[in-house]
Structure 1
Amino acid sequence: MRSDNRRPGKLARTACAVAAAVGLAVSPAAAVPALASAGTEDCLFVRPFFGPPTSQVNVAGCGFWPFEGIEIYLGTSLRARSFTNGRGEFFTTLSIPGDESLGARNLTAVGLKSHRFARTTFLVANHP
């Protein structure tokens, strides 16, 4: 069995730098998207990782085509649109609907031209 000791690629370093620049915390759980298309380094970061209905959520992504439209879904509902920069990265803010029921939801970003996607989880939960 081969051990893969390669250093992270330039895109992965750029994604972490973008996340840090926009104030997103990078934790091991958030740094690894649940899905990555075709073995690329697509990524999706969300901050905060949980919140009540009506909360604001920052979303950043990478690995998409340059200057393409992005749609962000919470579960199966379209909640935000954005555009990538020349490096295929985007940042946007979305609101969790006031009538959203409590529980874990998939947060998915889809490139409109490339059809690439990245997915992570957001927990709709009341604060303690």
Structure 2
Amino acid sequence: MSVREFDVLDQELPGVRIVSIRGELDLTHAADARSALELAASEPERALVIDLTGCDFLDSTGVSAIVAASRSARGAGSGVTVASTEGSEVRRILDLTGISQGLPTFDGVDAAARAAVGSS
């Protein structure tokens, strides 16, 4: 059994911060993801895009990190959107848990960023 790579990338653009999660967002990596998401979410007046287009797997700890970050961002007055590939396993989990109904979810990062900036 091989260990899957995991990475969190943070990109700042005018009015928006994109946190891209690559690999498996599970118990092993949830703390790292949560820290990055919470830091990004704490910035007032900067929308947050949670980019899961490169995420291969999402468990309940990952879902919890996403929910916590969205609450923090909204508390700071910022818009929050999610980018997740339509038809992927991660998107299915977002749909099953209701995240895609509670947070605007888009197929690509560009659309998610435009929507996030417009909602903050």
TM over 0.5: no
Choose between structure 1 and 2: higher helix proportion: 2
TM-score (norm 2): 0.29
